[in-house]
Amino acid sequence: MGLNDIQLPEFVVADLYGDRVLSLPPAARPYPLKSHGSNRRHITILVNAPASEFLPDDQLTFLIKILEACRLALTDVAIVNNAATETNISAVKEQLHPKIILLFGLEPTAIRLPINFPAFRPQEYDGCTYLTAPGIDQLVPNTEESKLLKSKLWVCLKTIFDL
């Protein structure tokens, strides 16, 4: 690849040239995200489940129980499996318009968020509330470790959803 073939992202060009650039060519349309749920309340749940289209049955059952405890249903959320369709925050925001994003088994940088934050600490950024947590596969087993993780998750969810 030669120097003439390098393509810079729009935000880099905008930072370099500021208002001296009259217009940028339209960006390529992102691929449509494949999601499970109706997204009525604009809550996006990003998971990392390599062996499934969305989530294995036991993990989906567990997630539905979490949603019910938060007074939500599958119709309120959009579940996106990052392992099946690798995504980024731009595509998620453009297509799903989330108010809340829950990341299970994914670091914020995995979806190209420009910030990183620890698990179990709700984070406000760019008009959206984010929460990272371990993968749902780590929450499903009935062990002492998973009970601790579930209690940490519940404390955060109560704060996010005013329960």
Please report whether residue 77 resides in a domain. Answer: yes
Q: What is the structure's pLDDT at 132?
A: 97
Three-state DSSP class for residue 34:
coil
Domain total of the chain: 1
In this structure, is residue 20 part of a structural domain?
A: no
Q: How far is CA 134 from CA 30, 48, 54, in A?
A: 27, 10, 16
Look at residue 24 and tell me if it is in a domain.
no
Q: Are 59 and 140 in contact (CB under 8 A)?
A: yes
CATH of the domain at 115: 3.40.470.10
- DSSP bridge pairs for 125: 128
The answer as to whether 18 is a domain residue is no
Mean pLDDT in residue range 124-149: 94
Give domain status of residue 11, yes or no.
Answer: no
So what's the pLDDT on residue 85?
A: 83
> pLDDT class for 22, splitting at 50, 70, 90?
very low
Q: Which domain holds residue 48?
A: 31-160
Q: Is residue 7 part of a domain?
A: no
Please report, rounded to a whole number, the percentage of residues in the chain having pLDDT higher than 70.
81
pLDDT tens-digit profile of 72-109? 999 999 999 998 888 899 999 999 999 999 999 999 99
Domain presence at residue 25: no
Max mean pLDDT among 6-10, 29-33, 143-147 falls in 143-147
Is the residue at 72 inside a domain? Answer: yes
Q: Is 70 exceeded by the pLDDT of residue 9? A: no
Instruction: Give tens-digit pLDDT for 39-64.
Output: 999 999 999 998 888 899 999 999 99
